[in-house]
Amino acid sequence: MAVSRSKAWSYAEEFLEVPRRSVPVTLRHGKTGVVLMHAGRVLTRCYPSRVGQWTARFMAQALGLDVPPQGESLTTAVSTGVLFRAISISSLDLRNTASYPILERMLEEAEFQRPAKNGHGL
């Protein structure tokens, strides 16, 4: 049985209480949508609806990833700050245009908080 977003959020809130520099997370694309996991536990999910696909794409972008093809997964390590933003993005209702400025800001902050890929970061 799949873990609901609300049950996953309870675990995510508890997990995010302690700031960490590097947290390994897995983005898995299955039949029931896209799931973000840490140590085998679901942190959040995006359902396979049109809006869920949008939020999954933006959540992956916040993590510095692309959504993997169905049946596959990707792993990365991010700070809890980036993770907080990715999880928050997954719960936005993108049918409401008022959420667009919030989405834009969270994506900017997540990009700023991720280490530079070219090794020339601060």
pLDDT digits (tens, 9 = 90+) for 1-45: 466 666 777 778 777 888 889 999 999 999 999 999 998 999 999
Q: Is the pLDDT of residue 122 over 60?
A: no
d(CA 97, CA 101): 8
d(CA 25, CA 43): 9
The pLDDT, as a whole number, for residue 109 is 95
Tell me the percentage of the chain whose pLDDT exceeds 70.
Answer: 89
Question: pTM here?
Answer: 0.86
Rg over alpha carbons for the chain, rounded to the nearest Å, is: 14
Please list the alpha-helical segments (H only) found in 17-99: 50-63, 80-90
d(CA 95, CA 97): 6
